[in-house]
Amino acid sequence: MIAFILTAISAYLAYLIFTAGSWTGQELIAGGILAIIVAALTSGFHFRNNKIKCNPIRMILALLYVLIPFFIEMAKANIDVAIRVFTGKIRPGIIKYNPQLKSDFGIMLIANSITLTPGTLAVHVDEESNDLYVHLLNIAPGKEQKGSWAGKDIFSWFDLSAWVRRIAE
């Protein structure tokens, strides 16, 4: 029952967001009926177990994470890649990176962040030890023989894996 109500509420919120600016009484009622139909059809699919993690502090942290550290790292990575596109100075390689995260959601978030940020691209995820195999565009000379990299070796200003640990674990 709680799954049904939560799905209906989130479907109605999504409807309100998509139709913002043209709300009339009839449209709001039609949206409510649609939300109930959607919830009846999909609530069993969206909630496979009853452990619902929905902490508002984590949501605010996630928004903050996207707006400040992630965006700054992304801008820096893009300028770096742009310079390397024009000069052609690259020293690529695949390294092992252990983000020290356990949950699937955390791994998904850090792998996506890593692909968009600091000259890196997630190639392979080891599902037992949760290691990421990451392709780097430019490895600093002398660093390539290092066994396993930590967050502070990859990121320069913000340690994104620490942020993801706060959001997703």
Chain residues that interact with another protein, rule: CB under 8 A: 17-22, 74-75, 77-78, 81-82, 85-86, 88, 90-96, 111-113, 115-117, 119, 121-124, 133, 135, 137, 139, 144-145
Q: Which is nearer to another protein, 4 or 103 (CB)?
A: 103
Query: Tokens 């990299």 belong to which residue?
Result: 149
* Of 137, 140, 123, 161, nearest in space to 79 by CA: 137
Q: Which is nearer to another protein, 111 or 160 (CB)?
A: 111
Choose between 9 and 67: whose C-beta lies nearer to another protein: 67
Tallying the residues shown for the chain, one arrives at 169
Query: What minimum distance in Å lies between the beta carbon of 43 and another protein?
Result: 23
Comparing CB distances to another protein, the nearer of 37 and 79 is 79
- DSSP per-residue codes, 45-112: HH-SSS-----HHHHHHHHHHIIIIIHHHHHHHHHHHHHHHHH---B-EEEEE-----SHHHHHHHHH
- Type of residue found at 141: P
Shortest Å, Cβ 50 to another protein: 26
